[in-house]
Structures are given as C-alpha cells and as structure tokens.
C-alpha cells in the first residue's frame, strides 16, 4: 500500500461480522487510528493482529486529523476505526474526510455493519424511505427543534440513544410525535440483543418496569395518512358548519371550493353544506 487513509467499518457487536476485506486492510496498514485504543486492542487480539495504534476520538480529531494526514503524506497507510460501526456515522471520521478532500489526500471506505440499517430492517417498518438523526441533542429546547423539523415526515425516523436517557427520550417522542409505532432495538448483534415493537405508550410502560441496559436504536414510524386526517379533523371539530366554511374562505378559498372542502371533511353531500352558505 502507498500512503493512504482507510476508513474501516468494524462489528457493532458480534466480532464475526467483520469482513475479510476489513481484516486484510488492518493487517496491511502501518498504523491503526482508533476511537478507543483499549477497545480496538480487543478486536486486534481476537484476530491475532499486532499494530501500532494512535488515538483518534471526538475530543482530539481536529488536531489528530492533521497529524494523520502528515503521516499519510510521508508514505504511511493508516486504518481509521471506531469502537463499532462506520467511522463518520455518529462517530469520529467526518472531520478527517473533509481534510482529505481539501488536501487531495487519497482515502478509501471499507464498509461494514451499521446499527441504523440493522435496526431498520428488524423493525418491520417502511424501509423504502427513512431519515437518520443520530443522537438527539441533550437540551429539551434543542430536542424540540429537531423533532418539530421531522414530526411531519412520512419517512421512517431512526435515532440512537444511551440507556440512561432512554426513558426520557421515549416520553419526549410521545409528547412531540404522538403515539406512533416504534421498534426499540437493544444491543444489536450482541448476546442480549432484543427487539421491542409496539406503540410509544406501550414501550414506555415496559421500560418503567424494566430498567434499560445497553445501547439502543429507536426506529419510529413516519406520519401516517390517518394521523394527518385526525389532525385536520381536530382543527374543525369544534366549529359549526358556517364557521367551517368561513375558515376556508378566510384562508383564501372561494366559497365554491370552501363548500367542497367542508363536504369532504365532514363526509356529507355538497348540497347539504351549500344550505349553510347562502348568506355568506
């Protein structure tokens, strides 16, 4: 290998999930840059690989990125790994990729297992369209802003969460998104892997009685047609028919179109609604 950076996906739990290509890359590189060298040492020992390691984690990635690039420019090959999964996905890696692109340093992605895709498939929810938001912000104000942004998405939503914040996050999701279907995936590919499927209110009760342990992937259903219809209905539910017509007219609709829309909302014939509009 000539001087180059390799971003190597590592197992998210079960060590057997490492790829042959990942093992070959790590064996042939000069240095392994690891998020936690102690954690990565266990992986290397398991596969009987001895390598020089350096630390590369979120607290030092700005400085370390330049140091690693200097080593690559001097002809070294470096494999960057995180504790689990793909570098750059809710883990260090994006900074050094940006620097490599800026400085025209060659890099290659060695793909591997990712918790978000594994959790999505396990959930049984719609996998044709999804949005991944990683870990939600810790501050309620910031979390609220993120969820307000995505609450109307029809796409399936995927987030990560730590055990000590799981119950708080589930309650926050219920308040912000409503009682949707969710799949709570625990310790994926590990010994105590567990998939808890249900609606948010049900899984909250479960975790009130069973203390969360391990790392979690939360897969939440997107906004359904039924939820959208219920929201529309809640807007006019307390209105009389005349007020309902006037509401649409105030929003810029013609009287004729307003009558059609009210008839559709209330699932009655247009001529029944027209009777209430004569004096408008």
Residues whose CB is less than 8 angstroms from the CB of residue 1 and which lie 6 or more positions away in sequence, other chains included: 28, 29, 77
pLDDT in tens, 132-189: 999 999 898 999 999 999 999 999 999 999 999 999 999 999 999 999 999 999 999 9
Strands (E), 9-102: 31-34, 52-55, 77-81
* Cβ–Cβ < 8 Å for 49, 27: yes
* Cβ–Cβ < 8 Å for 138, 172: no
For the chain, 280 residues long, give each residue's pLDDT as a single digit of tens.
579 999 999 999 999 999 999 999 999 999 999 999 999 999 999 999 999 999 999 899 989 999 999 999 999 999 999 999 999 999 999 999 999 999 999 999 999 999 999 999 999 999 999 999 999 998 989 999 999 999 999 999 999 999 999 999 999 999 999 999 999 999 999 999 999 999 999 999 999 999 999 999 999 999 988 887 777 666 666 788 878 888 888 788 898 888 888 778 778 788 887 677 777 7
Residues of the chain with CATH 3.40.1010.10: 4-113
pLDDT attached to residue 227: 80
Alpha carbon 136 to its chain's center: 9
Q: d(Cα 128, Cα 130) in Å, to the nearest integer?
A: 7
pLDDT attached to residue 267: 82
Of the candidates 258, 231, 254, 256, the residue with the CA atom closest to the CA atom of residue 243: 258
pLDDT in tens, 102-120: 999 999 999 999 999 999 9
3-state secondary structure of 58: coil
Residue 97 Cα distances to 6, 21, 72, 80, 196, angstroms:
10, 20, 13, 11, 36
* Cβ–Cβ < 8 Å for 96, 129: no
Residues of the chain with CATH 3.30.950.10: 116-223
Tell me: domain 4-113, CATH 3.40.50.880, correct?
Answer: no
Positive/negative CA dihedral, 224, 115, 169, 193: positive
Q: 116-223 belongs to which CATH class?
A: alpha beta
- pTM for the model stands at 0.82
């Amino acid at each position: 290998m000539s001087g180059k950076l390799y971003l190597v996906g590592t197992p998210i739990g079960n060590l057997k999930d490492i790829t042959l290509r990942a093992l070959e890359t790590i064996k042939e590189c000069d240095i392994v840059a690891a998020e936690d060298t102690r954690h990565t040492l266990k992986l290397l020992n398991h596969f009987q690989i001895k390598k020089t390691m350096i630390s590369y984690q979120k607290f030092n990635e700005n400085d370390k990125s330049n140091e690693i690039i200097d080593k690559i420019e001097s002809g070294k090959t470096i494999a960057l790994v995180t504790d689990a999964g793909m570098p750059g996905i809710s883990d260090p890696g994006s900074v050094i990729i940006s620097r490599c692109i800026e400085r025209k340093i060659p890099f290659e992605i060695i793909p591997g297992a990712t918790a978000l895709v594994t959790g999505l498939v396990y959930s049984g929810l719609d996998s044709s369209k999804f949005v991944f938001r990683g870990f939600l912000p810790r501050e309620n104000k910031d979390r609220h802003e993120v969820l307000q942004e995505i609450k109307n998405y029809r796409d399936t939503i995927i987030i990560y969460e730590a055990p000590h914040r799981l119950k708080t996050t589930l309650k926050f999701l219920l308040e912000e998104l409503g009682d949707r279907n969710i799949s709570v995936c625990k310790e994926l590919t590990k010994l105590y892997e567990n998939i808890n499927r249900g609606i948010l209110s049900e899984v909250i009760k479960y975790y009130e009685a069973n203390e969360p342990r391990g790392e979690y992937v939360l897969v939440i259903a997107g906004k359904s047609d039924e939820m959208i219809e219920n929201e529309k209905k809640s807007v006019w539910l307390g209105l009389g028919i005349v007020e309902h017509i006037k509401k649409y007219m105030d929003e810029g609709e013609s009287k004729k179109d307003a009558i059609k829309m009210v008839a559709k909302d209330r699932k009655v014939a247009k001529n029944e609604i027209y009777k209430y509009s004569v004096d408008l």
